[in-house]
Amino acid sequence: MRILPYQAVYQTEMTLRQRLWQINWSLIFLITVIGGVGIAMLYSAGGGAMDPWASKQLGRFALGLIGMFIVAVIDIRIWLRYAYVIFGISVAMLIAVDVIGHIGMGAQRWLRFGPLSVQPSEVMKMALVLALARYFHRVNIEDIGRPVFLIAPLAMVLAPVALVMKQPDLGTAVMLMAGGGAIFFLAGVRLWKFAVVIVVGLACIPIGWNFMHDYQRQRVLTFINPETDPLGAGYHILQSQIAFGSGSVFGKGYLQGTQSHLNFLPERHTDFIFTMLAEEFGLVGGLMVLLLFALLMVYGLAVSVRCRNHFGRLLSMGVTVTILLYVFINTAMVMGLIPVVGVPLPLISYGGTAMLTVLGGCGFLMNAYIHRDVRIGRHAGES
Amino acid sequence: MKPEQDRGRLFTRRAMILAGGQALMFTGLAARMYYLQVVESSHYRVLAEENRISLRLLPPPRGRILDRRGAPLATNAQNYRVVIVPEEAENIEQMLDRLDRLVQVPEHERRRIMREVRRRRAFVPVTVRENLSWEEVSRIEVNAPDLPGINIDVGETRSYPFDGAAAHVLGYVAAVSERDLTGDPLLELPGFRIGKTGIERQYDLQLRGKAGNAEVEVNALGRVIRELRRQEGQPGQNVHLTIDIGLQEFVAKRVGEERRAAVVVMDAHKGDVLAMVSVPSYDPNAFNEGLSGKEWNRLITNPDTPLTNKVIAGQYAPGSTFKIAVALAALEANIPPSFRTSCYGHVQLGNQKFHCWKKGGHGSVDMLDGIKLSCDVYFYELAKRVGIDRVSAMAKRLGMGQSLDLDIPGERNGLIPTRDWKLAAIGVPWQLGETLVAGIGQGYVLATPLQLAVMTARLVNGGFAVTPRLTLAPPGVDPADEPPHSFPPIGVADASRRLVIQGMVEVVNNPQGGTAFGSRITEKRFAMGGKTGTSQVRRISLAERDRGVRKNEDRPWRERDHALFVGFAPVDAPRYVVSVIVEHGGGGSKAAAPIARDVLLEAQRRDSSSVMPGRIAAAPPVDKGPAR
């Protein structure tokens, strides 16, 4: 990462050429390395073949990178202006998926647009960051102390949470709440208010339990004790842990993972791809991947701290936190630390929408970096 | 500007806190990885291996059952099956259509196949048809390129080349039932067969052999990926029977016309059972292929009990064949052969009248005449003089009233009554009249055809307590290495035995009243001796006797007498004994003796008791032959 000299004055207008000049190639390198790990693992998951997963993922990754560039170079104020529109479209898509969505994995999650199928809940993760960043960009520090000013952003978080819970998609709901909470925290909401929300949330657990589907309850129960039903619901967690443990320090070698290749590991190309990596490359490989994500986090932190406009700070840190939430939830799940929830490992798991969402998020991160010295007024369009 | 700067500082502080929290989470994840992959690694490695490696049993080929000359009676035939592997067949319906043009696939089979295809995993082969002929196999093989997913599979099935001829000796194999499970994992293999009766059951463990195993790598669905290690099992051992299948077939054919009958041929000295036939029989091959419920029901409800081996499990009143034991008991009780009594057709005891089979009586009879003519009155008198307990003791010495430890299951003991037995079993003291009835082998006395053969053998083999056997040597032992077995003497004086033997020779060869003269063997070197028996199934009432309704043919089949005959040959140096019973066959001389004659003649012609085919065995080391 390159540290640019501090510019004493705010920039107002940037040409496209200036923006391109500002693109941070070390971030792109980092993202490409992580994406490359993903394609290599999908090659292994396909039994040492590009098909069916690795080749498709490669195409998506390339497409996503282009999208990332486009997101990065669009003027940050345009994003600010359309933040609520994008959020509104995402909410509309979530409602649509509820009405006409395709049935998949026992829950409604996909929307089809011709040859494309989109998972609105993935798009929503970034749209929420965008919308909250815009909201808190506008609100000054005194107003944040007033509860009235928190009603609107709370609604922005809870509306999509309610919609994804209905699908039901517990993983996304948790991510939206945690990601939203992080932005609240960054915006300066008092800690005791978080305490109140957490206490209320805990009190709601029994009610939530009643709203859960049987398979979700089963997941929670088997998380608590996976060995009770090793061939039933606890199977996934147990087999995943066996894969981890048998991988040991240096792993079984690329394409040599017995748990993965003999199909003991479920969903090895999507949610459990980290398990497969840890089986084939061991502790060393697993830690390397975590290190790559840690670098991404450090990068995101540096960008946000360096940013001189509040929208950019909130946007870049919000995106960083969201991407790392993917990482934490996914890896903690496959290691048996939390119940099984459907959250992919960003840039590595097979899946189009998540790939595009995460690369789009990286585009915002880069956008914030490019426009770090742009001054944005409190109100949209103002400079 | 100031609030904007404050906002920036607050953001930076909180972003740092958040980053710190994330770093903590990374640490937690790394710690969990360390725990799983370093601390608990060996535990999980074992679990992964257990997942991956599966032990497959390799069923050993079942041992063969051979006759005394090595002819296979039970072998393993190759069973060609056509199977369909759903994942390799593009379109199962279409494949079955194509297959139907080559070999018949009936509609109901088709439904079963489709059902199994749906139920099983796509790589598990589903059997389409079994027991294909060679021609059908080649028709499929020729068309193999057009039949993806259709394979020919070779399995082993038990085959009994002589069908029902020796069914009761061999028994049969069938699927393992819940009861049969002993912990041997082989028994839990689908399609595994175990012996259910006969030799197949008796020597099941030895015939079964030891399972081998293969360590294979499997995936989560159980599909075998590759074989890692293989340990061959031990094939089952062959069992060499004493049966001469040629003689066995001859006997089966000879009595096959009867409705219910039993014949056993034995070597008098070694106890080798050369032929053992129970009629009706069944086809053991049918069990192997799997009987339908209807077929099985027909077998077990058949009043002629085809599944019962009547030679060892049929208990009959021995009738006059029992007179052998009575005569020996009398001679051993010092009643001389010259003892005479007069037969007027019946004898009176209190207010009971005991009839002789000959209405007019035999006149004055000595012991030889008594045996030759089978005079009932003479044996009433002997039994009365000797007493039931001494008669019973002699019968037991001759092998009756007890299991003979033949090496197939199902043997029954028969019944030799004594005073104590009756008091204990029925609670009523013994009556003298019952001694008289026992004297002619009726009343309580029961014996199996095998026991009657053993009785005859012990009489003619020089007085040794021979026991029957069905195997030449224990499984796994070469019969040539098996030392000859010697039997203890039964302790009956040679003179007594010779007299009874002479009586039996006259039964067959004396034209003056010998009851089986019509069934003698005219070829002198093969001549036989024997004793007829006619055992009453139902008591004939006085009224019937007066009306003269005595002839068997006048009574319904079920009430007709059983026909019995025990015999031996050749008379000069007895080697073969035979015991024949034809249920409801009428008189022993008419229904049983001709069978015995044909069987003994065939046994001698075939030289059944020698192990090498066609070789005339050296004369057996015994008896100087009956004094004539």
Residue range A282-303, pLDDT digits in tens: 999 999 999 999 999 999 999 9
What is the tens place of the pLDDT at every residue in B572-606?
Answer: 999 999 999 999 988 888 899 999 999 999 999 99
In this structure, of A97-111, A240-254, B31-45, the range with the lowest mean pLDDT score is A97-111
* Contacts for A144 with CB less than 8 Å, ≥ 6 apart: A136, A150, A187, A188, A189
The HSE-up count of residue B365 (CA atoms within 13 Å, CB side) is 27
Chain A contact for B8 (CB, 8 A cutoff):
yes
d(CA B492, CA B31): 93
User: Which residues of B fall within a CB distance of 8 Å from A332?
Assistant: 28-29, 32
- 3-state DSSP call for residue B581? strand
CATH code of domain B245-474+485-606: 3.40.710.10
Chain B contact for A117 (CB, 8 A cutoff):
no
ipTM (interface pTM): 0.89
- Contacts of A187-193 with CB under 8 Å at 24 or more apart are A187/A132, A187/A136, A187/A139, A187/A144, A187/A314, A187/B11, A188/A141, A188/A144, A188/B7, A188/B10, A188/B11, A188/B14, A189/A144, A189/A150, A190/A145, A193/A147, A193/A150
Burial state string for A116-138 with b = 16 or more CB within 10 A and e = fewer than 16:
eebbbbbbbbbbbbbbbbbbbbb
- In the structure, what pLDDT confidence band is assigned to residue A364 with cuts at 50, 70 and 90? very high
User: Which residues of B fall within a CB distance of 8 Å from A377?
Assistant: none
What is the tens place of the pLDDT at every residue in B238-257?
Answer: 999 999 999 999 999 999 88
- 3-state DSSP call for residue B290? coil
**pLDDT(B1) > 60:** no
What is the model's pLDDT at position B623?
A: 40
What is the model's pLDDT at position A377?
A: 75
- Contacts of B117-122 with CB under 8 Å at 24 or more apart are B117/B84, B117/B86, B117/B92, B120/B86, B121/B221, B121/B222, B121/B223, B122/B85, B122/B86, B122/B87
What is the model's pLDDT at position B619?
A: 36
Q: Are B199 and B475 contacting, i.e. CB atoms less than 8 angstroms apart?
A: no
B37 vs A182, A245, A331: nearest CB: A245
Q: Which residue has the tokens 């904007």?
A: B4
B7 vs A249, A259, A310: nearest CB: A310
What is the model's pLDDT at position B499?
A: 95
What is the model's pLDDT at position A340?
A: 77
Neighbours of B152 (CB within 10 A): 15
The residue type found at A271 is: D
Indicate the domain borders of chain B. Answer: 57-109+126-136+152-240, 245-474+485-606
User: Which residues of B fall within a CB distance of 8 Å from A276?
Assistant: none
Assigned CATH topology for domain B57-109+126-136+152-240: Penicillin-binding protein 2a (Domain 2) (3.90.1310)
Mean pLDDT, rounded, for B337-355: 91
**pLDDT(A235) > 50:** yes
Chain B contact for A302 (CB, 8 A cutoff):
no
What is the model's pLDDT at position B550?
A: 60
Task: Record the tokens describing residue A361, joined without a space.
Answer: 């998020």
Indicate the domain borders of chain A. Answer: 16-370
Greater confidence (B142 vs A224) lies with B142
Q: Are B216 and B53 contacting, i.e. CB atoms less than 8 angstroms apart?
A: yes
Greater confidence (B22 vs A258) lies with B22
Vertex B251 angle, CA B247 and B256, to 5°: 150
Q: Is B320 a catalytic residue?
A: yes
Taking the CA atoms of B592, B595, B601 and B604 in sequence, report the sign of the dihedral they define.
negative
Q: Answer whether A310 sits within 8 Å of B38, measured CB to CB.
A: no
**pLDDT(B350) > 90:** no
In this structure, of B93-102, B115-124, B161-170, B264-273, the range with the lowest mean pLDDT score is B115-124
For B217, the closest chain A residue by CA position comes to A262
Q: What are phi and psi of B385, to 5 degrees?
A: -75, -40
What is the model's pLDDT at position B543?
A: 66
Catalytic residue among B159, B278, B281, B320: B320
What is the model's pLDDT at position B96?
A: 86
What letter would DSSP give residue B358? Answer: S
* Antiparallel, parallel or unpaired: β B65-66 and B72-84: antiparallel
Mean pLDDT, rounded, for A154-175: 86
Q: Are B203 and B239 contacting, i.e. CB atoms less than 8 angstroms apart?
A: yes
What is the tens place of the pLDDT at every residue in A272-285?
Answer: 999 999 999 999 99
Residue B570, preceding peptide bond in cis (omega within 30° of 0): yes
- Give B 70-99 residues with CB within 8 A of chain A: none
d(CA B561, CA B556): 10
In this structure, of A376-380, B223-227, B383-387, the range with the lowest mean pLDDT score is A376-380
d(CA A22, CA A2): 10
**pLDDT(A229) > 60:** no
Vertex B419 angle, CA B413 and B423, to 5°: 90
Mean pLDDT, rounded, for B70-77: 91
Of B412, B467, B406, B413, residue with least CA distance to B202: B406
> Can you give chain A as a three-state secondary structure string?
CCCCCCCCCCECCCCHHHHHHHCCHHHHHHHHHHHHHHHHHHHHHCCCCCCCCHHHHHHHHHHHHHHHHHHHHCCHHHHHHHHHHHHHHHHHHHHHHHHHCEEECCEEEEEEECCEEECHHHHHHHHHHHHHHHHHHHCCHHHHCCCHHHHHHHHHHHHHHHHHHHCCCHHHHHHHHHHHHHHHHHHCCCHHHHHHHHHHHHHHHHHHHHHCCHHHHHHHHHHHCHHHCCCCCCHHHHHHHHHHHHHCCCCCCCCCCHHHHCCCCCCCCCCCHHHHHHHHHHHHHHHHHHHHHHHHHHHHHHHHHHCCCHHHHHHHHHHHHHHHHHHHHHHHHHCCCCCCCCCCCCCCCCCHHHHHHHHHHHHHHHHHHHCCCECCCCCCCCC
Neighbours of A161 (CB within 10 A): 19
* Residue B379 host element (H or E): helix B376-386
Q: Answer whether B44 sits within 8 Å of A182, measured CB to CB.
A: no
B44 vs A241, A297, A314: nearest CB: A241
**pLDDT(A8) > 60:** no
B22 vs A186, A324, A337: nearest CB: A324
Neighbours of B100 (CB within 10 A): 15
d(CA B175, CA B194): 6
What is the model's pLDDT at position B127?
A: 80
Of A378, A372, A383, residue with least CA distance to A141: A378
In this structure, of B186-195, B217-226, B583-592, the range with the lowest mean pLDDT score is B217-226
**pLDDT(A218) > 80:** no
What is the tens place of the pLDDT at every residue in B291-300?
Answer: 777 888 888 8
Q: Answer whether A313 sits within 8 Å of B217, measured CB to CB.
A: no
Interface test with B, best of A185, A262, A274, A292 (most B CBs within 10 A): A262
User: Which residues of A fall within a CB distance of 8 Å from B51?
Assistant: 239, 242, 258-259, 262, 264
Crossing angle of helices A148-166 and A76-100, rounded to 10°: 40
In this structure, of A156-170, B385-399, B583-597, the range with the lowest mean pLDDT score is A156-170
Chain A contact for B10 (CB, 8 A cutoff):
yes
What is the tens place of the pLDDT at every residue in A134-156?
Answer: 999 988 877 888 888 888 999 99
Provide the shortest C-alpha distance from residue A212 to chain B (in Å): 27
User: Which residues of A fall within a CB distance of 8 Å from B23?
Assistant: 294, 297
Provide the shortest C-alpha distance from residue A93 to chain B (in Å): 31
B29 vs A241, A308, A332: nearest CB: A332
What is the model's pLDDT at position A114?
A: 64
Residue B280, preceding peptide bond in cis (omega within 30° of 0): yes
What is the model's pLDDT at position B37?
A: 93
d(CA B11, CA A308): 11
Interface test with A, best of B37, B39, B53 (most A CBs within 10 A): B37
Question: Average pLDDT of chain A?
Answer: 85
Q: Answer whether B37 sits within 8 Å of A304, measured CB to CB.
A: no
CB pairs under 8 A between A and B: 140
Q: Answer whether A286 sits within 8 Å of B33, measured CB to CB.
A: yes
Q: What are phi and psi of A375, to 5 degrees?
A: -95, 130
Chain A contact for B156 (CB, 8 A cutoff):
no
Q: Are B576 and B608 contacting, i.e. CB atoms less than 8 angstroms apart?
A: yes
Q: Are A334 and B32 contacting, i.e. CB atoms less than 8 angstroms apart?
A: no
Distances (CA, A) of B250 to B56, B69, B362, B615: 45, 16, 38, 19
Question: Average pLDDT of chain B?
Answer: 87
Chain A contact for B33 (CB, 8 A cutoff):
yes
Of B16, B20, B14, B2, residue with least CA distance to A184: B14
Provide the shortest C-alpha distance from residue A339 to chain B (in Å): 15
Q: Which residue has the tokens 């077929």?
A: B295
Maximum mean pLDDT: which of B112-116, B157-161, B260-264: B260-264
The HSE-up count of residue B530 (CA atoms within 13 Å, CB side) is 36
d(CA B430, CA A95): 101
What is the model's pLDDT at position B497?
A: 95
What is the tens place of the pLDDT at every residue in B357-369?
Answer: 888 889 999 999 9
- In the structure, what pLDDT confidence band is assigned to residue A373 with cuts at 50, 70 and 90? confident
**pLDDT(A222) > 50:** yes
User: Which residues of B fall within a CB distance of 8 Å from A278?
Assistant: 33, 37
What is the model's pLDDT at position A102?
A: 53
Mean pLDDT, rounded, for B301-313: 93
Q: Are A310 and A318 contacting, i.e. CB atoms less than 8 angstroms apart?
A: no
What is the model's pLDDT at position A383?
A: 40
- 3-state DSSP call for residue B76? strand
Chain B contact for A332 (CB, 8 A cutoff):
yes
- 3-state DSSP call for residue B132? coil
Chain A contact for B43 (CB, 8 A cutoff):
yes
What is the tens place of the pLDDT at every residue in B427-456?
Answer: 999 999 999 999 999 999 999 999 999 999
